[in-house]
Amino acid sequence: MSKADMRPAAASLLLPLALLLAAPAAAKSSDRDQPMDISADRTDALLEDDSVSTLEGNVKIRQGSLEVDADRAEIHRVAGEIRRIVLTGSPARLRQVSDSGEPMDAFANRITYTPNEELMLLSGAVEIRQPRGTLRGETVKYDINTGRLDGGGDGSRVSMRILPKSASGD
């Protein structure tokens, strides 16, 4: 398969990535209706039901307000379904704007998303920034169904800075 032939294949694998990663950020609802642009220095993809497809080098995914930057993206498929998406970088970055216009920036050395469980695990120098505050730690688990953040418990501390409502411009 030529490099040009692999681009649509990689795009079809990453579409669920961007849609799924949009959920935790209280995503701008119109983002899902926007075209998606994906680029990387290299791709190694298999279009089989049980496979791991990889994008490497300056990975960029853009769809509406969603911006994902990583050194590497792996898409793990089992029986044709995406079971796990792993973004790595120094750090990997996920940025999105909500319907209310509030930006959210998340940084971590590794971001793992498991669609079946609707869980996102951020690990390694995690920092989540929003206008009203910041959360930092080594490990933060985000439950998309409940909106619950679970940080720490790994021997390291979690720190938060919450700004007063008047300081955030609300």
Domain locations in the chain?
Answer: 3-168
3-state class percentages of the chain: helix first, strand second, coil last, to nearest 5:
20, 55, 25
Say if CB 92 and CB 69 are below 8 A apart. Answer: yes
The rounded distance, in Å, linking the Cα atoms of 30 and 61 is 16
Number of neighbouring beta carbons within 10 Å of residue 126 = 23
Please name the residues in contact with 167: beta carbons below 8 A apart, sequence gap of 6 or more.
none
The rounded distance, in Å, linking the Cα atoms of 22 and 25 is 6
Q: Which one-letter DSSP state was computed for residue 115?
A: T
Give me the tens of pLDDT residue by residue for the chain, a chain 170 residues long: 444 444 444 444 443 343 344 444 445 667 767 777 778 999 998 878 899 989 999 999 888 887 889 999 998 989 988 888 899 999 999 888 877 788 888 899 999 988 788 788 999 999 988 888 899 999 998 876 676 778 887 888 888 898 887 765 55
Q: How far apart are the first and last CA of the chain?
A: 52
Fold of 3-168: lipopolysaccharide transport protein A fold (2.60.450)
Q: Model-level pTM? A: 0.74
Q: What are phi and psi of 164, to 5 degrees?
A: -65, 150
